[in-house]
Amino acid sequence: MKILRGFMKYIGWCIKGIRRKIRAMSPAQKRMTTVAIFGIIIGCLMGNGIGRASEKRKSEVKVQEAMAEVQKKADEKYDSLEKQLYDLQEELNDHEKEIPWNLVLVNASHPMEEGYVPELTEIQPGYSVDTRIANELRKMLADAEAEGLHIEMCSAYRSVERQQQVFGDSMKDRVKSGMSYWDAYYETTKNVALPGTSEHALGLALDLVSSSYTGLDERQKNTAEAKWLAENCHKYGFILRYPEGTTDITGIVFEPWHYRYVGEEHAQKIMELGITLEEYLEEHYDSKAGGK
Give contact residues for Zn ion (rule: CB under 5 A).
207, 258
CB of 189 to Zn ion, least distance (A): 15
225 is catalytic: no
68 vs 120, beta carbon nearer Zn ion: 120
Q: Is there a contact between 242 and 253 (Cβ–Cβ < 8 Å)?
A: yes
CB of 99 to Zn ion, least distance (A): 21
User: Helix crossing, 181-191 with 160-176: angle to 10°?
Assistant: 130
Q: What is the DSSP-derived secondary structure letter of residue 110?
A: B
CA nearest 264: which of 105, 152, 103? 103
34 vs 214, beta carbon nearer Zn ion: 214
The angle subtended at Cα 164 by Cα 163 and Cα 170, nearest 5°, is 90
CB of 194 to Zn ion, least distance (A): 14
As a whole number of angstroms, the distance between CA 86 and CA 166 comes to: 49
As a whole number of angstroms, the distance between CA 220 and CA 211 comes to: 10
Q: What contacts 85, CB < 8 A, 6 or more positions away? A: none
User: Helix crossing, 277-284 with 264-273: angle to 10°?
Assistant: 110
Report how far apart the first and last C-alpha atoms of the chain are (Å, whole number).
Answer: 108
Q: Is there a contact between 262 and 102 (Cβ–Cβ < 8 Å)?
A: yes
As a whole number of angstroms, the distance between CA 16 and CA 240 comes to: 122
174 vs 258, beta carbon nearer Zn ion: 258
CA nearest 197: which of 77, 75, 291? 291
CB of 200 to Zn ion, least distance (A): 6
207 vs 225, beta carbon nearer Zn ion: 207
CB of 198 to Zn ion, least distance (A): 7
23 vs 197, beta carbon nearer Zn ion: 197
Catalytic pick among 136, 199, 225, 255? 255
136 vs 207, beta carbon nearer Zn ion: 207
CB of 187 to Zn ion, least distance (A): 17
Q: Report which residue type is found at 103.
A: L
b/e per residue 176-190 (b: at least 16 CB within 10 A): eeebeeeebbeebbe
As a whole number of angstroms, the distance between CA 210 and CA 129 comes to: 19
Which residues does the annotation mark as catalytic? 255
